Chain A
Amino acid sequence: MNPEKVVFGFFIVLALTLNFGFFVGELDNPNHHHAWELFAVVVVNMIATVLKFGDRSQIGAVLLSTSLVAMLQLIAATLVWTFAVYATDAGMTESIMASVVSLSGGAMIANVVSVVLLVVETVMLRR
Chain B
Amino acid sequence: MDTIFFLILRRMRAPLLTLIVVYAVAMAGMALIPGQDAEGHPAQVSLFHAFYFVSYMSTTIGFGELPNAFTDAQRLWVSGSVFFTVAVWIYAIGNLIALLQDVTLQRAIAERRFRGRVRGLSRPFYLICGYGQTGSALVRGLTDRHLQAVVIDIDPDRINLLQLDNQREFVPALCADARSPATLESAGMSHPMCRGVVALTNVNEANLKIAIASKLLRPEVKVICRADSHEVEANMASFGTDHIYDPFDAFALYIATAIQAPCQTLLVDWLSGFGGEALSEPRYPPAKGRWVICGYGRFGKAMYQHLKDQGFELSVIEASPHRTGIPPEGVVHGRGTEAVTLEQAEIRRSVGLVAGTDHDADNLSIIMTALELNPDLFVIARENHIQNQHLFDRVGAHAIMNPSTIIANRIRIRLVTPLLAEFTTLARFQDEGWASQLVSRIVALVDERMPYVWEVTLDREEAFALHDPEMGRLPVTLGTLLRDPMDRDLRLRAIPLLLIRDDERILLPDLDDRVEFGDRLLFCGWEEAHRRMDWILQNIHALRYVATGEARRDGPVWRRIAAWQRPR
Partner-binding segment picked from B9-17, B150-158, B199-207, B277-285: B9-17
Closest to A38 in B: B47
* Given A39-B28, A56-B3, A56-B6, CB of A50 within 8 Å of CB of B17: yes
Within 8 A of B (CB), among A69-105: 82, 85-86
Known contacts A82-B48, A86-B48; is-contact A54 B20 (Cβ 8 Å): no
Asked if residues B12 and A35 are in contact (CB atoms below 8 Å), the reply is no
Is A43 interfacial (CB-CB < 8 Å)? yes
Chain A CB within 8 A of B7 CB: yes
Contacts of A82 in B (CB 8 A): 48
Contact present for B21 and A39 (CB under 8 Å):
no
State whether the Cβ of A10 lies closer than 8 Å to any Cβ in chain B: no
How far apart are the CA atoms of A86 and B10 in the complex, in Å? 37
Supply 23 A–B pairs (Cβ within 8 Å), ascending by A: A35-B47, A36-B31, A36-B47, A39-B28, A39-B47, A43-B21, A43-B24, A46-B20, A50-B13, A50-B16, A50-B17, A51-B17, A53-B9, A53-B10, A54-B6, A54-B7, A54-B8, A54-B9, A54-B10, A54-B11, A56-B3, A56-B6, A82-B48
A-side interface residues, number (CB < 8 Å): 15
Q: Please indicate the chain A residues that have their CB under 8 angstroms from the CB of B27 in the complex.
A: 39
When distances are taken between beta carbons in the complex, the residues of chain B under 8 Å from A43 are 20-21, 24
Say whether B48 contacts A85, CB under 8 Å.
yes
* Least Cβ–Cβ distance between A52 and chain B, in angstroms: 9
Our pick among B7, B9, B21, B28 for the contact of A47 (Cβ within 8 Å) is: B21
Assess the B47–A54 pair: CB atoms within 8 A. Answer: no
Q: Which residue of A lies closest to B25 (CB)?
A: A43
Interface residues of B in 22-50 (CB under 8 A from A): 24, 27-28, 31, 46-48
Chain A 19-44 interface 0/1 with B at a Cβ cutoff of 8 Å (1 = within) = 00000000000000001100100010
Q: Shortest Cβ distance from A93 into chain B, in angstroms?
A: 17
Which residues 224-249 in B have Cβ within 8 Å of A in the complex? none
What residues of chain B lie closer than 8 Å to A39, measured between beta carbons?
24, 27-28, 47
Count residues of B near A (Cβ-Cβ below 8 Å). 20
Nearest B residue (CB) for A42: B24
What's the least CB distance linking A51 to chain B, in Å?
7
| Chain A, residue nearest B32 (CB) | A36
A36 to chain B, nearest CB (A): 7
A121 to nearest B CB, angstroms?
17
Q: Are B24 and A54 in contact (CB under 8 A)?
A: no
Where the two chains meet, the residues of B that have a C-beta atom closer than 8 Å to any C-beta of A are 3, 6-13, 16-17, 20-21, 24, 27-28, 31, 46-48
A86→B12 CA distance, assembly (Å): 34
Q: CA separation between A86 and B31, bound complex, in Å?
A: 16
- Given the complex of chains A and B, what is the CA–CA distance between A50 and B24 in angstroms? 15
Q: Is the CB of A51 within 8 A of B48?
A: no
Whole-angstrom distance between the Cβ of B304 and the nearest chain A Cβ = 61
B28 adjacent to A55 (CB under 8 Å) = no
Q: Given the complex of chains A and B, what is the CA–CA distance between A47 and B13 in angstroms?
A: 9
Q: Which residues of A contact B21 (CB under 8 A)?
A: 43, 47
Contacts of A54 in B (CB 8 A): 6-13
A39 vs B30: C-alpha distance in the bound complex, in angstroms?
13
Q: Tell whether, in the assembled complex, residue A55 and residue B6 are in contact, meaning their CB atoms are under 8 Å apart.
A: yes
Q: A53 contacts B48, CB within 8 Å?
A: no
Roughly how many angstroms separate A51 CA and B31 CA in the complex, as a whole number?
Answer: 27
Interchain nearest-CB distance for B517 vs A (Å): 55
Closest residue of chain B to A11, judged by CB? B17
Asked if B20 and A53 make an inter-chain contact with CB atoms under 8 angstroms apart, the answer reads no
Closest A residue by C-beta to B27: A39
Q: Is the CB of A47 within 8 A of B47?
A: no
Is the beta-carbon distance between B24 and A53 smaller than 8 angstroms? no
What is the CA–CA distance of A47 and B21 in the complex, to the nearest angstrom?
8
Q: How far is the CA of A73 from the CA of B56 in the complex (A)?
A: 25
Residues of chain A lying within 8 A (CB to CB) of residue B12: 50, 53-54
Residues of B within 8 A of A85 (CB): 46, 48
Measured CB to CB, the closest approach of chain B to A85, in angstroms, equals: 7
A50-B20, A56-B3 known; 8 other A-B pairs, CB under 8 Å? A35-B46, A39-B24, A39-B27, A47-B20, A47-B21, A50-B13, A51-B17, A56-B6
Docked Cα-Cα span, A50 to B16, in Å, equals 7
Q: Is the CB of A51 within 8 A of B13?
A: yes
Find the A residue at minimum CB distance from B15. Answer: A50
Complex: chain B residue closest to A51, CB-CB: B13
**Whole-angstrom CA separation of A77 from B519 in the bound complex:** 72
Closest 6 pairs (CB-CB, A-B): A54-B10, A54-B9, A53-B9, A43-B24, A50-B16, A54-B6
Cα distance, A86 to B46, chains bound together (Å): 10
B16 contact set on A, CB distance < 8 A: 50, 53
Q: How far is the CA of A13 from the CA of B345 in the complex (A)?
A: 93
Residue of A nearest to B20 (CB): A46
Chain A residues within an 8 Å CB radius of B9: 53-54
| Chain A residues with CB below 8 A from B48, complex form | 82, 85-86
Shortest distance between the CB of B25 and any CB in chain A (Å): 9
Per the bound structure, the CA–CA distance linking A46 and B48 in Å amounts to: 17
Report A-chain residues with C-beta under 8 Å of the C-beta of B11. 54
Provide the bound-state CA to CA distance between A36 and B30, in Å.
Answer: 13
Instruction: Please indicate the chain A residues that have their CB under 8 angstroms from the CB of B46 in the complex.
Output: 35, 85
Residues of B within 8 A of A46 (CB): 20
Q: Which residue of A lies closest to B10 (CB)?
A: A54
